[in-house]
Amino acid sequence: MHQIKMNLAKTGTRLSVGRSMTFLAFIFLSLQPSFAASGKPSSKIGGVQVGTITYSYRSMPDQTISGILNYSIQSGLSSVELMGGAVEEYAGIPQVKDPEVIKKWRSTVSMAKFKEIRKMFNDKGVKINILKLGDKGWSDPEIDYAFNAAKTLGAIGITMEISEEAAKRMEPFAEKHNLYAIFHNHGQPGDPNFSFDKVLALGSHLRLNLDCGHYFGATGLDPTLIIERLHNRIVSLHLKDKTSPKASDPNKNQVWGQGETPLAKILQLVQKKKYPIECDIELEYTVPEGSDAVKEVAKCFEYCRTALTHKK
């Protein structure tokens, strides 16, 4: 609302009391979550699937799988990249620090609880697109477990931090399970020796989870250029607003619309080109006092909606 007031002041708009109330009612309704006729959330806007990585809700009090699902619904979202911690907790992972105990559990656990999670999400109309689970240092049985869990949840694959070592390790398993090994970047693109192409060349089942904010914050380059070039190897984007590396306060997370990352341009490219790329909100800026992560993710979703429905 503060931003809306600022915009009105800039244009010199004057509203009567009656018109003001109508305008405020419109704004209030526009910020409410969208639900389809079925009563389930719908966050596919103009052909673009908007979702969130559930890491966005890390500051919320209920970190159970049902709590995270409810937060996603309250934000109005129908697709998630699901963090593995809550999944494994629901499935009964031992609460110990002994890596051998954990390894044995992952290597032998039934998929029954994972089937329950899938049904839980399906019943509420939320798709689990990607599972964030696995590591290049895991044993073979553990990596098999991660892919089996993803398949049981209905996900297209598992995601982890990008590296050539991880790509070499994961490609045979991704091929075996006919799923994707999906790699997420932080600031690596800022290193002149880093190359997405080298990673992707290591296997046909390797894909990118391109973090547009980290990419822009590290390089200052327009993410739409690499999205266009590698769109057939990108399955999802992480969206956040950051300052550029040349800003007075460089590479810093910002409230959406206050940074320099071309978020609207990114969304509109995916829409215009009809790329089958999911666009996931990642809440990384500090939650303002009096708000919470659910409300802030909903605001980011509204930003996406506006970009996809009110193009210049």
Q: What is the pLDDT of residue 37?
A: 60
Contacts of 135 (CB under 8 A, 6+ apart): 160
**Average pLDDT, consecutive stretches of 10 residues, N- to C-terminus, the chain (312 residues):** 35 36 39 64 98 98 98 98 98 97 98 98 98 98 98 98 98 98 98 98 98 98 98 98 97 98 98 98 98 98 96 63
Full-model pTM: 0.88
Q: What is the pLDDT of residue 39?
A: 79
Cα–Cα distance for residue pair 90/131, rounded to 1 Å = 14
Q: What is the pLDDT of residue 27?
A: 40
SS (H, E, C) 72-140: HHHCCCCEEEEEHHHHHHHHCCCCCCCHHHHHHHHHHCCCHHHHHHHHHHHHHCCEEEEEECCCCCCCH
Please state, in angstroms and as integers, the Cα–Cα distance from residue 233 to each residue in 35, 91, 151, 252, following that order. Answer: 31, 31, 20, 27
Q: What is the pLDDT of residue 310?
A: 84
Q: What is the pLDDT of residue 32?
A: 52
Domains of the chain in sequence order: 38-309 (3.20.20.150)
Q: For residue 71, what are its two tokens?
A: 């937060």
Counting Cβ atoms within 10 Å, is residue 232 exposed (0-12), middle (13-18) or buried (19+)? exposed
